[in-house]
Structure 1
């Protein structure tokens, strides 16, 4: 009886991973109806003098979230912000520093997305050759796979606005319904809902509290100021299409 041949499985050695954190930092310029993303210019190879998302390699003894907040504190000053982990990008060859003959050293990017108030955000230019807000629809070709990370972050932001109260993390404590609507139309586009339906739906849901104070802007009628009531919103948490 002939011996059955055996297939020898060659075990590949474990890869040596370097972990970075890249932040997709969004802001909404409601005066000019622009959704913006923060970009910095790389000072070193690879991709020297190319725009990219703010990022860093994780330091020893530092958590991923601590690394993400460190990037924020080094690039921007803002009182109110929202930060959430986005996705892990680890395709082979995503970083030119990976040796193509073995890929023994791999570069992972754990991405976060943040939303900060534009009027209060102060950029920090220390240690970078360039830092700027770019309209999302005018972003150039970025270093690494950062265009893909930005696209993923943009989709997440749009989805979060539809079912979560993320907008209230960057609005003032007291705001008008017009302020809120302007933020939504800037991110989602004016076709997502007309103002009348938006206003009616939000007030019916019952998680906005009228402060009893009105504010005058321009020649129009004074507008009521509202506050977000987190306790009243709790039963609606994570239900899709709350705001639309």
Structure 2
């Protein structure tokens, strides 16, 4: 059967209805805590419950849908030089259990997003509120979002070991101390300042010196510290393993 013949006899009612959505695990650091963006659902199902931002995919690419949902909840728009242009966005996983949404069969493509210094969120049209919430307080979420968040956090913590993703949490110029604070906050583990400084500078392409110094304080409390910017490395070799993981691989 050729395509024209097939389409002439095609009836969408003969096939099960399936919808596609995107959900976004958006992470940033606020007041020294790793925080995730949550919305309060304004509509059923799960009206009044907290959830990850997301929604149905329109006539757009999946990445575009994820950025649109993030922009709606943060009040930022791409292309105007603000922080949304610095967001690191990547696909996390696809979730498609038959009973994950009580309305119908919904397949969701989850995304992981990171950016520094994102502002107070503004709820989109389908949400009653939007908040930055410390990740250890983000529980009992709607749908299967507890699982999505948990797997997003583990992905983020893993990626800090073998990619320069931590530089997405700081400004374009930063000190090693500020970079170490990102690792400490995301991993939830204190790191030895001297060892961390040595490891970072031993990884080719991880960071590069700007030749300038900062008055924000040195690694050991000095008045100034060297400023760095992200290098061109895409993978860290050797990797910066979490202290608990270092113990396991020795």
State whether TM-score is above 0.5: yes
Pair 1:226 & 2:232 matched: no
Cα distance 1:126–1:46, how it changes in 2: closer, same or farther (>3 A)?
Answer: closer
| Paired position in structure 2 for 1:26 | 27
Consecutive aligned runs of 4 or more in structure 1 exceeding 3 Å deviation: none
Residues 82 and 114 in structure 1, CA contact (< 8 A), matched pair in contact too: yes
* Counterparts of 1:23 and 1:64, CA distance in 2: 11
Q: Secondary structure, in 3 states, of the residue corresponding to 2:37?
A: strand
Could you tell which deviates more after superposition, 173-182 or 121-130? 121-130
Q: TM-score, normalised by structure 1?
A: 0.82
Pair 1:84 & 2:90 matched: yes
| Paired position in structure 2 for 1:102 | none
* Counterparts of 1:111 and 1:238, CA distance in 2: 25
* Counterparts of 1:147 and 1:109, CA distance in 2: 14
Residues 21 and 58 in structure 1, CA contact (< 8 A), matched pair in contact too: yes
Residues 21 and 54 in structure 2, CA contact (< 8 A), matched pair in contact too: yes
Residues 19 and 106 in structure 2, CA contact (< 8 A), matched pair in contact too: yes
| Paired position in structure 2 for 1:107 | 106
Tell which structure's C-alpha radius of gyration is larger: 1
Q: Secondary structure, in 3 states, of the residue corresponding to 1:217?
A: coil
Could you tell which deviates more after superposition, 198-207 or 178-187? 198-207
* Counterparts of 1:126 and 1:146, CA distance in 2: 18
Q: Secondary structure, in 3 states, of the residue corresponding to 2:89?
A: strand
Q: Secondary structure, in 3 states, of the residue corresponding to 1:147?
A: helix
Pair 1:243 & 2:244 matched: no
Q: Secondary structure, in 3 states, of the residue corresponding to 1:174?
A: coil
Q: TM-score, normalised by structure 2?
A: 0.80
Q: How many correspondences in the alignment?
A: 215
Deviation string, structure 1 residues 34-88 (Cα, Å, up to 9, x no partner): 11000001111110111100011011x2111111111011111234211000101
Residues 81 and 170 in structure 1, CA contact (< 8 A), matched pair in contact too: no
Deviation string, structure 1 residues 180-206 (Cα, Å, up to 9, x no partner): 000110000224x42211110111223
* Counterparts of 2:144 and 2:88, CA distance in 1: 23
Cα distance 1:135–1:214, how it changes in 2: closer, same or farther (>3 A)?
Answer: same
* Counterparts of 1:196 and 1:238, CA distance in 2: 19
* Counterparts of 1:205 and 1:165, CA distance in 2: 10
Q: Secondary structure, in 3 states, of the residue corresponding to 1:71?
A: helix
Deviation at 1:238, TM superposition (A): 6.5
Deviation at 1:93, TM superposition (A): 0.8
Residue among 55, 59, 73 paired with 2:71: 73
